Structure 1
Amino acid sequence: MVAYSSSIDFWCPKISRLLRLGTVFGTPKYCVMRSYRKWRTHKKSTFFSSSTLDFCKGSDKNIVLEGFILDMKIIKVLMLGDVIGNPGMEQLYIKLPQFIKKENIDLVIANGENSDNGFGITEEIIDRMRGFGVTVITSGNHIWSNQDAEALLNHYDFVLRPHNYYDSPGKGFWIGEVAGEKIAVVNLIGRYFITPVDCPFQILEKLLRKELRGIKNIIVDFHAEIMPEKKSLAYYFDGKVSFVAGTHTHVQTADDIILGNGTGYITDLGMCGGLDSVIGMEKKGILHKIRRNVNVPYVPSNENEKMQGIIIDLNLDTGKTESIQRFSM
């Protein structure tokens, strides 16, 4: 017999009867209801209670009922804040593989521009991140800090630099496939209080018209300094991209939201590293620099280390964000 929850009686008695009579041939991780005549998509919170959805967790197969098929339509995307030096890499080593397994993550995106002692990235770090389960590595203005940046960006197509750097090595977008659907990750950088670059709005519009044309599922890492620029980009492309996540400031914000046309947004993902710090660096050096206006070496902090980011439920049929879950662990 099919696994059954009495709470479905309240929502739809007809489906309840089908569930009592139907036979299950495997269970998908997430599902929506489809009739043989047409698709009908229901949000989990609208149609099923959480207890009812218990029977939907499991393998990737379909549930076949009399007259209905339940298909997997939603994937889980994990986005990590800026990884700060060895403390950040240690957090990924300790926590990320188990977290991916526990949360059934399908795609992992991490910003790696600060992973090499706070500035840039190396080939060794790229290989380690991939080993931890990271699918795509995004970056920002510090990607150029390593002397091998050009070679690395040209060699690894999953290591991105902001796409609005004009005529630069590598590229700022990645296209892959998850659960049989194309998905794209775009890396952009802001123009306020950062090195002058091309307009991120115009560059993203061009990508949507050309390279990303026809792709519904698009996630943007917008590496920018100020909230108004980040949120303006999200509102401008609401309904045209799936999610806009801010990076660069290393402070996780509590303003995650799904906009009117289905685009998810957060001003900053936070960071992976020591929170008892100034943007991930040891306090002593930063205070010395700010108080006396002298250059001192920045050292990544290992005090109160955390891994921060978000989990996105992404609807592959619509390209819209269904839910956002922040974490700091």
Structure 2
Amino acid sequence: MKVVFIGDIVGNVGRETVKRLLPWLKDRYQPHIVIANGENAAGGRGINAAITRELFEAGVHGITMGNHTWDNREIFEFIDDEPRMIRPANLPPGTPGRGYTVVKAGNKELAIVNLIGRTFLPPSDCPFRKADEILSELRKQHKCILVDFHAEATSEKIAMGWYLDGRASLVLGTHTHVQTNDDRILPEGTAYVTDAGMTGPRDGVLGMERENVIRKFITGMPTRFQVAETKWHLNGVFVDIDEATGRANRVQTIRVDEDSWIPA
């Protein structure tokens, strides 16, 4: 099974980039399933129903979230009824939505799991114990499993990769918006990347207008961040999974920007 994961989609620039590049990605990588992190898709904070439909209509099969899941209150109106969207599974019991699901496309099935880290992020339940709980159930029926670990600290993400080696097909990090150059297959067959990167404005600061971010660093004063309107880039991950074993055959980071992309 071939899977493409699109790194954190930021604002309108990110959404338009996904719509522009998905046909190219599908031609180049021939993915059976496309997953994207959408927690910044609505103006850099959260997601709404219209944008969710927009991403699915563009060809995304499943959406993961993160610490900005609840920034747009409209999500409370539809997250319980949208089985293709997941939020971090280790949020407290009773939280709306679901932390994992099975995405289907044609005759292919991919289980996807969303977790959030605890280092430098708001309090949550232990992601490692929650991963144990979820994977013990999923692995009874599914071999192909993708885990999006939305976390700040690289050490926490690397630890999760090793912890899940042999139990997930792909463990990748999101949240920092900066793609890491450490894609590899771990000894027990799990593909791993510390951070998939972001999709959206290339020349901002993590997708935001750089002038305001710089001003905040210099002055320390509260500053309103706005999604930048610059040239785009798309970051993501491609993985080829052996459906018989769930082990990764190949993993590769994807990095394309407006200056280097050549339309088909």
Q: State the match for 2:260 in structure 1.
A: none
Query: After the TM superposition, which residues 83-98 of structure 1 pair with which residues of structure 2 at under 5 Å, given as runs?
Result: 83-98=9-24
1:184 corresponds to 2:84 = no
Find 2:120's aligned residue among 193, 213, 216.
Answer: 193
Query: After the TM superposition, which residues 250-265 of structure 1 pair with which residues of structure 2 at under 5 Å, given as runs?
Result: 250-265=177-192
Find 1:319's aligned residue among 246, 250, 259.
Answer: 246
Q: State the match for 1:220 in structure 2.
A: 147
Query: After the TM superposition, which residues 71-86 of structure 1 pair with which residues of structure 2 at under 5 Å, given as runs?
Result: 75-86=1-12
Q: How far did residue 102 of structure 1 move?
A: 3.7
Question: Structure 2: 5+ residue runs without aligned partners?
Answer: 257-264
Q: Using the TM superposition, name which of 173-182 and 136-145 deviates more.
A: 173-182
1:173 corresponds to 2:100 = yes
1:132 corresponds to 2:55 = no
Find 1:292's aligned residue among 219, 233, 255.
Answer: 219
1:153 corresponds to 2:79 = yes
Conservation of the 8 A alpha-carbon contact between 2:115 and 2:149 = yes
Alignment RMSD, CA only?
1.4
**Deviations 1:299-321 (CA, angstroms, capped at 9, x unpaired):** 11232311110111111111011
Which one has more relative contact order, counting CA pairs under 8 Å at least 6 apart? 2
Conservation of the 8 A alpha-carbon contact between 1:184 and 1:212 = no
Conservation of the 8 A alpha-carbon contact between 1:241 and 1:263 = yes
Q: How many residues align?
A: 255
Q: Secondary structure at the match of 2:14?
A: helix
TM-score, normalising length: structure 1: 0.75
Q: Using the TM superposition, name which of 113-122 and 153-162 deviates more.
A: 153-162
Q: State the match for 2:259 in structure 1.
A: none
**Deviations 1:39-63 (CA, angstroms, capped at 9, x unpaired):** xxxxxxxxxxxxxxxxxxxxxxxxx
Q: How far did residue 105 of structure 1 move?
A: 1.3
Q: Using the TM superposition, name which of 94-103 and 108-117 deviates more.
A: 94-103
Q: How far did residue 297 of structure 1 move?
A: 1.7
Q: How far did residue 181 of structure 1 move?
A: 5.3
Conservation of the 8 A alpha-carbon contact between 2:176 and 2:195 = yes
Q: Secondary structure at the match of 2:44?
A: coil
**Deviations 1:273-307 (CA, angstroms, capped at 9, x unpaired):** 11212111110111111221222221112323111
Distance 1:214 1:321 in 2: 18
Q: Using the TM superposition, name which of 187-196 and 205-214 deviates more.
A: 205-214
TM-score, normalising length: structure 2: 0.93
Conservation of the 8 A alpha-carbon contact between 2:84 and 2:103 = no
Distance 1:311 1:77 in 2: 6
Conservation of the 8 A alpha-carbon contact between 1:207 and 1:213 = no
Q: Secondary structure at the match of 1:165?
A: coil
Q: State the match for 2:165 in structure 1.
A: 238
Q: Using the TM superposition, name which of 246-255 and 85-94 deviates more.
A: 85-94
Find 1:202's aligned residue among 129, 132, 152.
Answer: 129
Distance 1:102 1:261 in 2: 28
1:109 corresponds to 2:50 = no
Find 1:247's aligned residue among 161, 171, 174.
Answer: 174
Higher Rg: 1
**Residue identity in the other structure for 1:216:** K
Q: Secondary structure at the match of 2:162?
A: helix
